[in-house]
Structure 1
Amino acid sequence: FSTRGQNRLVLGGSLHWIFQMAKIVNLFKLCEYIRSLSFYFLNSMSKRILITLIIPLFILK
């Protein structure tokens, strides 16, 4: 038999897991973004273009 307290604990744990996964997905997207930036940087893109690619990181916060 489960009690309301146990149900809340399960729900709270599930929500915690969902939010943790969202953070991991965002971190993965950020790593991919940085990887693409480094690709452009290593291919000798101009600083102006590199800066234009970095600016969205600060705007999207």
Structure 2
Amino acid sequence: MKEFGTAFGIAYGIRKKGYNLLSADEFLEKGFQVLSLLPDSQSRRELVIFAQRVFEYCSA
């Protein structure tokens, strides 16, 4: 979870500053890969959906 939080935070910061860099997507993908190692659960699915919506909002 710590790795996901770090990767998500970096990606969010890059996007929030208005940069549209590939590295933001790479950090986000790294975070999702870490989450995929956790057992499948409702909580994990909700966290993935939350992160995706945050980035959709930043991209709008």
TM-score normalised by structure 1 residue count: 0.48
- Structure number with higher relative contact order (C-alpha < 8 Å, ≥ 6 residues apart): 2
Q: Which has the higher helix share?
A: 1
Larger radius of gyration: 1
